[in-house]
Structure 1
Amino acid sequence: MKDTPIPHIPVAIVGGGQAGLSVACQLKTKGIESVVFERHEKFHSWRVNRWDSFCLVTPNWQCRLPGFHYDKEFGGKDPDGFMLRAEITDYLDAFVATFEPNIYEHVNVTRIAHHPQGGYVVETSVGTWTCDQVVIATGGYDKPIEPAYAEALDPTIVQMHSVDYRNPSQLPDGDVLIVGTGQSGVQIMEDFIRAGRGVHLAVGPAPRSPRKYRGRDAIDWLHDAGHYKITIDTHPDPVKALTQTNHYMSGRDGGKEIDLRKWHVDHGVELYGSLANMAGHKLEFLPDLTRNLDDADRSYVGIRDQIDGYIARNGIDAPEEPPFVKVWEPSCERTELDLKETGITSVLWAIGFRPDYDWIEVDVFDARGKPKFNRGVTDVPGFHFIGLGWLNTWGSGRFLGIEEDSAHLAEQIDLQLQSAGTRAVA
């Protein structure tokens, strides 16, 4: 009895989010066959890994999937608004319906390695394929981050990571400590305040941004000024760009900026520095609250200054804004906290994620385990990445840049297939 031959595909795409499916769309336009492998269902992170009140932080007009822009092909009526979770998935599903990709859902890719005869072997939970080209589109949100000392916390204190959070009712009555002040942490903070819950916030080094400034959304000003066209190769501080946490602000209720000082004054949010340790029901914080608040404000004022400069250089008539004033400053740095004495019954981790590339047996990583590439194209022929922050510009890894990034990658794949003589037409 003859062995069943292993199926071959020109391009294997791992990850069925907007990045991987954008590449599939661009390849199909070029007549190149691809298969997308998704371990859950397409757009899983948008459907499942978001809380109930989640909405975009960037305005809807930045949703620019290949040939399917929010305010054009999708026909969106609120380009300056911020889509809710269900609206985002409606947009994504409508995009996929325009080209019907070849996607295997609920299939886990367990190994990718070089094939002895050239190309790659892709092992999955439902079988093995070979391919000429590989695109890794799994993003950087595989492993939720929780520090090792979290295991030393009193087990009566409920712990949850933001990936599992949906609404305040999941956590027991009492105050909550939210660890992390990126976009997730500050937006979840507002959820608990609206629910009438006491909130304590461990403030990290995340920067913040204005929302509306001088008559327009700050993102609109920055877009017009060419800020989002800066590439990582031309960025004045590429290390900072690659390592800095996203600026925090909100798209809720039409969009708002988040000043943690005001949330302390107006809503009683208790602020601490970076969390440093846990033991039983006692916590330790670094004495860096003042510095972290000041650094966030410095970023905020810097963006305002950048917009002011653009307005002045171009002679634009725009309303003036009063200068930024701190509404509150810490009188001391609180470095210790007793959860039971304070009435905190739960801890919510919002300190991010790590990627998982353990299943990739191809030499495309640096000594720290980070992928090495130029605009997603690695030095190993036929191996590529998409959907990562600053793949090329600020918009990489976001809706704004995925059309350009996926078009570039599809072009590189096409050239490599032609060069190798393996160009196949879908």
Structure 2
Amino acid sequence: MPERTHVPVAIIGAGQAGLSVSWYLGRHGIEHLVIEAETPVHAWTDTRWDNFTLVTPNWHCRLPGYSYAGDDPDGFMKRDEVVEWLNGWLDTFNPPLRTHTRVTRLRQGADGGFELTLVSADAEQLLTADDVVIATGGYPLPVIPTFARTLDPAVRQLHSEEYKNADQLPDGAVMVVGTGQSGAQIAEDLHLAGRTVHLAMGKAPRVARFYRGRDCMTWLADMGVYDVGVQEYPGGQAAREKTNHYVTGRDGGRDIDLREFAAQGMHLYGLLEDGRDSRLQFAPTLRESLDSADATYNSICADIDRHIEREGIEAPPATRYEPVWEPDDEPTALDLAAAGVTSIVWAIGYRPDYRWIEASVFDGGGRPMQTRGVTALPGLAFIGLPWMYTWGSGRFHGIDRDAAHIAASIIDRVARGSAGSVVTDGATLATTP
């Protein structure tokens, strides 16, 4: 029989979200264990491309007890700088870590609490816990369409999380599928490297990098947009399914204008619908996708205009984006061989995978049913999900607040019945007598 041990709180995942909960629990003397299948914050080095740059300003980077303190708060850290910054945070505390250990099963215990099956290179262990925090990321499984397996095997295919640089791909043109943040930035990376790029657009919106003298995300933060809870956000829970706006922090930050790229030779298409052998089929949605992305761009700028006027802020005059390129037609097919396309980068997102969790806390789409990370099952919580509470959830801007809330719910359970109570102001925790 595998060895069985007990820990009051188990945190599954040692990314910045899980470690933030650990920071708060450690501060309050709550015994816990952080279990990580790889190494702490490994995703930053393993799943970001070489030229990856944050799309949020450096001042957004803040974690419990730690924030960006460099000389470029309005700049954008590159991948290796983010890794260095995260390692600096890890040096400030000593989380109880067990690395290279995967949780393959989580279920409710017969007498309450939870039972976890842990598998490492040389052993299997049973662990029981009173509370469990799932910090494995929102959507761990990369999405690749089923028809991908029917495409010409001579065309190399990889998901965006595998992409590192243009030299990694065989000579020839590249098809990038998807225009979320990763797809748009990878298309830019390949375009700047001199590769011929074919880009299949989705429905992702875009945002200006700078507007009226400041970064747009700084304006939005001042406007309180990142503090609006999902329940109060326009569209409510549907916001959780929205694709993030594409923009880049590369070279000091700039817009990603796909129309401009097209004018420079990038080939744009609508939504990729199907494919077989060397032929791809697209929906005639290119013009609609471009117009919709630009409408969002201008709408956000208009919101900033109203904020500036309302607050009486002195700023450069308002502007409006006008298209620099229009498609002549709506291409609905592409022969990969004839176009010299030798590789495809799939950047169409990820899907949830919680099959290892045996608990009735998921909706019909396999997504956790939670309120600010806390589920209806006592003792089970999630952290690091997109739009878990606000637009800032799942990114550096909102992790501290989310972690403080999750930790407070655990500490309340541990301290229930004691003379003191645990309170949170959303950024720090304190025990009051």
TM-score normalised according to structure 2 size? 0.94
Q: Aligned pairs, how many?
A: 415
| Contact 2:160–2:346 (CA under 8 A) maintained in structure 1 | yes
Other-structure match for 1:109? 103
Q: Kindly tell me: are residues 213 and 315 of structure 1, through their superposed partners in 2, closer, same or farther at Cα, counting changes over 3 Å?
A: same
Q: How do 1:298-313 and structure 2 match up within 5 A? A: 298-313=295-310
Q: Which residue of 2 aligns with 1:400?
A: 397
- Which residue of structure 1 lines up, in the alignment, with residue 426 of structure 2? none
1:177 equivalent in structure 2: 175
Other-structure match for 2:89? 95
In 2, Cα distance between equivalents of 1:303 and 1:384: 33
**TM-aligned CA deviation for residue 419 of structure 1:** 3.1
Contact (CA 8 Å) 2:175, 2:341: kept in 1 or not?
A: yes
| Pair 1:336 & 2:330 matched | no
Q: Which residues of 2 match residues 20-31 of structure 1 at below 5 A? A: 20-31=18-29
Structure 1 residue 216: Cα displacement: 0.4
What's the counterpart of residue 324 of structure 2? 327
Shift of 1:414: 0.8
Q: 2:233, 2:189 → 1: CA distance? A: 36
SS at match of 2:29: coil
Instruction: Name which of structure 1's ranges 361-370 and 277-286 shifts more when overlaid on structure 2.
Output: 361-370
Unaligned runs of 5+ residues in structure 1 are none
State how far apart, in whole Å, the 1-side matches of 2:298 and 2:46 are. Answer: 35
1:19 and 1:406 in contact (8 A); partners too? yes
Counterparts of 1:57-96 in structure 2, within 5 Å, are 57-71=55-69, 76-96=70-90
CA distance in structure 1 between the partners assigned to 2:417 and 2:146 by the alignment: 47
| Root-mean-square deviation (Å) | 1.4
1:413 to 407, 410, 415: 410
Counterpart-to-counterpart distance in 1, 2:289 and 2:266: 16
Kept in 2: contact 1:388–1:396 (CA 8 A): yes
Whichever residue aligns with residue 144 of structure 1, its letter is: P
The runs of at least 4 consecutive aligned structure 1 residues that moved more than 6 Å come to none
Paired residue for 1:274?
271
Structure 2, unmatched stretches of 5+, are 421-433
Checking the alignment, whether the CA contact within 8 Å between 2:383 and 2:403 is kept in structure 1 is yes
| TM-score normalised to structure 1 length | 0.95
**Residue in 2 that maps onto 1:48:** 46
TM-superposed deviation, 1:241: 1.5
SS in structure 2 of the partner of residue 131 of structure 1: strand
Higher RCO, Cα 8 Å, sep 6+: 1
Change (3 A) 1:200 1:420: farther
**What amino acid sits opposite 2:295 in the alignment?**
R
| Structure 2 partner of 1:318 | 315
Deviation at 1:97, TM superposition (A): 1.5
CA pair 8-345 structure 1, distance change in 2 beyond 3 A? same
C-alpha distance in 2 between matches for 1:232 and 1:294: 26
Q: Secondary structure at the match of 1:6?
A: strand
Equivalence for 2:192:
194
Secondary structure, aligned partner of 1:52: coil
